Amino acid sequence: MTVVNTETIPGMNVVEVKGLVQGNTVRAKNIGRDIAAGFKNMVGGELRGYTELLTESRREAMSRMIAQAAALGANAVVNVRFSTSAITSGASEMMAYGTAVVAEPATRS
């Protein structure tokens, strides 16, 4: 599955649009990450526990989006975007979305 954040795929032609696809996950912080983040806030620096949580969330949302595209018969997703939103205190949603398409190699004349 080709996944790009552009409207086109170099060297490929979109021959069919399957539709909008999305994948999301809602994740909550855990007490261990909160304690570590609290200490890190005092001295500054990267909050690695939250960075890992965000990375895991992006991967899960993207995996679900790709599965939805595959179920529609697409071989690519174009114009991919990510969005986040707060659901409740301590829990956030990560969403990946794009357009599922069938793309074929461009032929040269």
**Mean pLDDT calculated for residue range 1-9:** 97
pLDDT of res. 98: 98
Domains with residue ranges and CATH for the chain: 2-105 (3.30.110.70)
Farthest-apart Cα atoms in the chain, separation: 63
Q: What is the pLDDT of residue 16?
A: 98
Q: What is the pLDDT of residue 5?
A: 97
Buried b (16+ CB within 10 A) or exposed e, 51-80: eebbeebbebbbebbbebbeeeebbbbbeb
Whole-number average pLDDT of the chain: 87
pLDDT tens column, 69-96: 999 999 999 999 999 998 877 788 999 9
The structure's pTM equals: 0.83
Confidence (pLDDT) at 37 = 52
Q: What percent of the chain has pLDDT over 90?
A: 65
Local confidence band at 17 (pLDDT 50, 70, 90 cut-offs): very high
